[in-house]
Amino acid sequence: MSYKPKNLLVTGGAGFIGANYIQWLLNERPDVYIVNLDLLTYAGNLENLNNLPSPDRHTFIEGDINDGSLVERLLREHSIDTIVHFAAESHVDRSISGPGEFVRTNINGTYVLLEAARQYWLGEQKLDKATLSASRRFHHISTDEVYGTLSESDPAFTEETPYAPNSPYSASKAASDHLVRAYFHTYGLPVTTTNCSNNYGPYQHGEKFIPTVIRSCLEGSPIPIYGDGSNIRDWLYVEDHARGIQRTIEAGRLGETYNIGGHNEWRNIDIVRLITEMLDKANPEGAPHDRLITFVTDRLGHDWRYAIDAAKAQRELNWTPRESFETGIALTINWYLEQHK
């Protein structure tokens, strides 16, 4: 099956991953039109949407995915055939201090979108099963954190790994994943889901790990490292993620989940040392940057290791990441250096 989206509603498209996806999609798919719905919370930034290619094919709407009447109106007015759902509260520390907003946005917001799609496509448009499957998509972006944590010797997460979320953030994303699955099996809504590993690249919010490290180096301020820095993550360059999402939308099997990972497992402390070494060369007046490393009290419920097995995506979608961590982090550092000038 090959699906070609035409009119897309992208939620959270002013955020880090959503904005990168929109940039990539407008470049790579010249026949699509995008409606971008974002509430512009702390994580959304209209500057992420500056200099879009073909801006006439992009409309920005400031609004809340929990506003069902707004979502339904956008679906109808723009004849939306594809929903790409990025909008989410995603910072683990924030979920620990204030879990309520994560429940509201990640669980209830996903429900509102699913219900709006069901009412519009199945109710108002009265699409039969065959037409619905061939002409509509609801794609949900999730995270590897729903699977819990791994020891050093455990195999990487697959799509069959049982869910075991350990933070309010990952629990809320797990709940949203289950809602998406239920709407497929109960109502026949044509859904796909991707669970990605940690993303990095241009436009990432400053509170995240890699931007924090780079910014600290450029400002000469302490680089905070949780615990002893031995926690391991699999890292995915954001443009590789955009390609993986689109391949899933266009070629993925309905109702299926695909894990999108970077094949790049790194300890946090090793990432910091790599970045400081690169910045020693790129920004020598601040060298040696590793003098800024500062170990801080570990986060509550801090998962020790995440790792993604993306074999299914490679096998069924012919998707693999193009960037190694070294090449991707070099691109990322260069982008931040340009912004810092």
What secondary structure letter does DSSP report for 15? S
- Is the CB of residue 258 less than 8 Å from the CB of residue 312? yes
The residues near 228 (Cβ < 8 Å, ≥ 6 apart) are 269, 295
For residue 110, what are the CA distances in angstroms to 39, 165, 194? 14, 18, 15
CA 299 to chain centre: 22
Could you confirm whether 240 is annotated as catalytic? Answer: no
- Is the CB of residue 260 less than 8 Å from the CB of residue 236? yes
Could you confirm whether 285 is annotated as catalytic? Answer: no
- Active-site residue among 145, 239, 303, 323? 145
- Per DSSP, the three-state class of 257 is strand
- Active-site residue among 38, 89, 144, 309? 144
- Is the CB of residue 310 less than 8 Å from the CB of residue 260? yes
SS (H, E, C) 184-239: HHHHCCCEEEEEECEEECCCCCCCCHHHHHHHHHHHCCCEEEECCCCCEEEEEEHH
- Active-site residue among 21, 169, 237, 306? 169
219, exposed or middle or buried, with CB in 10 Å at 0-12, 13-18, 19+? exposed
Structure tokens at 228: 């002893």
CA gap 57, 35 in Å, rounded: 8
For residue 38, what are the CA distances in angstroms to 8, 14, 45, 67, 198? 14, 6, 9, 11, 22
Could you confirm whether 93 is annotated as catalytic? Answer: no
Structure tokens at 102: 């994560």
CA gap 325, 182 in Å, rounded: 36
98, exposed or middle or buried, with CB in 10 Å at 0-12, 13-18, 19+? exposed
Residues forming the active site: 144-145, 169
